[in-house]
Amino acid sequence: MQDNSDITGADLLGQDWQGWLDRAEAAVGDDGYMQPLGANHAALFCERKPVLLVTFENFDRIEDISDKGQPFGWTMLDALGWSHMCLLSRGDTWFRDARVYGYFDRLIDDGFFDEFEQVIFYGAGACGYAAAAFSVAAPGAKVLMLRPQATLDPRVAEWDDRYLAMRRTSFTDRYGYAPDMLDAADTAVLLYDPEVEFDAMHSALFNRANVLRFRTRHLGYSIEETLAQMGLLQRMLAQLSAGRLTRRSLAQLWRKRRDEQGYLFALLRRLAGEQRDALTVLFCENVLARKRGGPRYRNALSKARARLDVQDG
């Protein structure tokens, strides 16, 4: 069996679609396989421990998460030795493809998921939809999804006009309506930013007894990138596997944002841009007192105080 470092040390940066698949297949070697699923999808599997992480990932954004251009799931392969299956799409497809359905049908028929003690599905955005939708293939699985869509069927979600090109794609046939597909899951955790209106509306459609919804305010569309940078995604998956990912544990993990410069600066820009001066003063004082800020926070603090002094005068 290959050493984990042989795989997670592989450099997959700067490759086109086929070049990436070829390199990833070579890195996996005899421990797994790569299988094309038509022109725009592929499956990459690496076998390790009897815990299987199934991730749905977008090839166009894979380098936003990994500085080596690797699947996000390989971080768990490296850290905990989990087995990993990556379903990869070229662009946002929501994995609505008969070849993908057929692949999961074959896995079910072969009893593939039954070989593992635990199966976890993960994805964000369009990939979060897929993680929920295809989790039905492994009853009893656990699911972590970030800002997923429930469906793009215009009869249900006509209010979401962000993905008009997908309106003609069927979301009513196999593996279709994501909230229904979660009925067989052991538990599912959904993270979203309530200030992204359509994401919040999709989240409401996942209001099920086995779904824990958690707000990550101010992360917008960058939930996955920000949580990955903070190292929280890996910890969430580990806690989900151990049955310890609760609303309280999520809140404790979420506190780490107070030390994340990307998050803090995004919040500063928003407060300053909206000229919410009193809140800007409180925010900058807090950041500076914790020695987490520099000149940009002092400048914003000075300007906010000056505007408040003019108002008081």
Token output for 5: 């470092």
Q: What is the pLDDT of residues 236-275, one digit of tens each?
A: 999 999 999 999 999 999 988 877 777 787 788 888 888 8
**Reduced 3-state DSSP string for 143-199:** EEEECCCCCCCHHHHCCCCCCHHHCCCCCCCCCCCHHHHHHHCCEEEEEECCCCHHH
CB 234 within 8 A of CB 76: yes
Domain endpoint, select from 258, 280, 295: 258
Proportion of the chain above pLDDT 90, given as a percent: 74
Confidence category of residue 294, pLDDT binned at 50, 70, 90: confident
The total domain count for the chain is: 2
CA–CA gap between residue 243 and residue 11 (Å, rounded):
33
Backbone angles phi, psi at 87, to 5 degrees: -95, 115
Q: 278 and 214, same structural domain? A: no
Instruction: Please give the angle made by the CA atoms of 61, 186 and 242, to the nearest 5 degrees.
Output: 75
Q: 8 and 156, same structural domain? A: yes
CB-side neighbour CA atoms (13 Å) of 300: 30
What are the C-alpha distances in Å from 222 to residues 80, 119, 188, 215, 308?
25, 26, 20, 13, 32
Other CB atoms closer than 10 Å to residue 259's CB: what's the count? 12
Q: 237 and 98, same structural domain? A: yes
Q: 266 and 169, same structural domain? A: no
Token output for 312: 């008081």
Q: 298 and 150, same structural domain? A: no
Q: 287 and 138, same structural domain? A: no
What domain range includes position 72? 4-258
Q: 95 and 14, same structural domain? A: yes
Average pLDDT over residues 35-49: 97
Identify the three-state secondary structure at position 276. Answer: coil
Q: 62 and 134, same structural domain? A: yes
Least confident of 13-17, 89-93, 209-213, 304-308: 304-308
What are the C-alpha distances in Å from 59 to residues 43, 117, 136, 257, 264?
12, 29, 24, 27, 29
Q: What is the pLDDT of residues 207-218, one digit of tens each?
A: 999 999 999 988
Token output for 207: 């209001």
Residue 175 CA, chain-centre distance (Å), reads 19
CA–CA gap between residue 104 and residue 110 (Å, rounded):
10
Least confident of 6-10, 143-147, 183-187: 6-10
Torsion angle in degrees (nearest 10) through CA of 54, 224, 191, 260: 140
Q: Is 50's pLDDT higher than 60?
A: yes
CB 85 within 8 A of CB 54: yes
Domain of residue 144, CATH code:
3.40.50.1820
Q: 294 and 248, same structural domain? A: no
Q: 93 and 81, same structural domain? A: yes
Q: 177 and 83, same structural domain? A: yes
CB-side neighbour CA atoms (13 Å) of 152: 20
pTM (two decimals): 0.89
Residue with tokens 């209001």: 207
CA–CA gap between residue 128 and residue 121 (Å, rounded):
9
Higher per-residue pLDDT: 310 or 98 = 98
How confident is the model at residue 173, as a pLDDT?
93
Confidence category of residue 109, pLDDT binned at 50, 70, 90: very high
Q: 124 and 43, same structural domain? A: yes
